[in-house]
Structure 1
Amino acid sequence: MNAWDYCRLGSGGQVVLYFAPLDEVNVVMKNKAFVGDRKDGKGSIGKDKRIYRHEVTLQGEFVDAAAMPQDFRQAIQRLFGRGDVTAEMQWRWLQNLAMYVGGNFDLKLGDDNYSATSEADLVYAPTGNRLPQVIFDEVRRNQGTNRTRVGYTVRFIAGFERSKGEEEPAA
């Protein structure tokens, strides 16, 4: 694995987007804890409800294929089916995935794979985890970008499409 292959988005077993170069990764697990303050210095009440929201935020830049190392240039050219892949094309494809394709995606982030579709698929291990698939929460084009380098920030929420026993609402 190299820096260009560290983080990629997938669907149906195929890579649909590479996040590279990647400048910053933030993984947040936010506990929905109960907190109650008490008067007279008696200490707060804190109850661990163990209800977590798992977020992954990526920040980086898309660059023109001409500015990429050879191995990554070839991978991105195969992905787009053409030789002249621009930073702007990659940005537009990211927007398209978020707004028009949607749904759950697989995200590879180093040794962690966000690809589990059920609780039975979860794996937590020191050498890498298999976590729930991700959905788009927020996509931003960063200020100060230009035609050859487009900065982005993407926030994903990791979770299952539905919980055990849940049914689709009637239309």
Structure 2
Amino acid sequence: MITYYDDRSVQVTSTAVRVDGRSYALADITMIWHRRGSRSWRVLVGRGALGAALAGPLVAAVFGIAVAVWLHRSTTVTIAIVGASVLVGLAVGPIADFLFEHLDRSYARGSRQLEIWARWRGQPVRLLRTGDALRFGQIYRAVQRAVERSHPARPGTRR
């Protein structure tokens, strides 16, 4: 038996697809397809918040420098304001890597609900529904490979 994908709730092998305790024999699956749901505004707002968190300190630093120049105060006050602004701008450095990692993960997870469907024993069955785009892609490709290998195409026929 070949295992194409395996995690705590989904297992795709050369004989069956098991999802949350239910098993679907590959011999009974004739077609695989997927559906995409609508975008999740919560995910998009979260990405916007991460972008604002990245840009905020830099904008504050530039704004502080502009205010320091505009005020025409003594050299000491101007240097203090510019110094504080630069420190605020530099503060984003250590945090930026952390924020970029979260932003990157949000794109890997995706912003839609994704579903894998199969025609199993003549009936359409939803095998999986997830919002994790990376996991969805891995599982979908594993199911495709397993079905292709379990139903080799005969010469002169199309699926």
Q: TM-score, normalised by structure 1?
A: 0.21
Q: TM-score, normalised by structure 2?
A: 0.22
Q: Which has the higher strand share?
A: 1
Bigger Rg, structure 1 or 2: 2
Between 1 and 2, higher relative CO (CA 8 Å, sep ≥ 6) is seen in 2
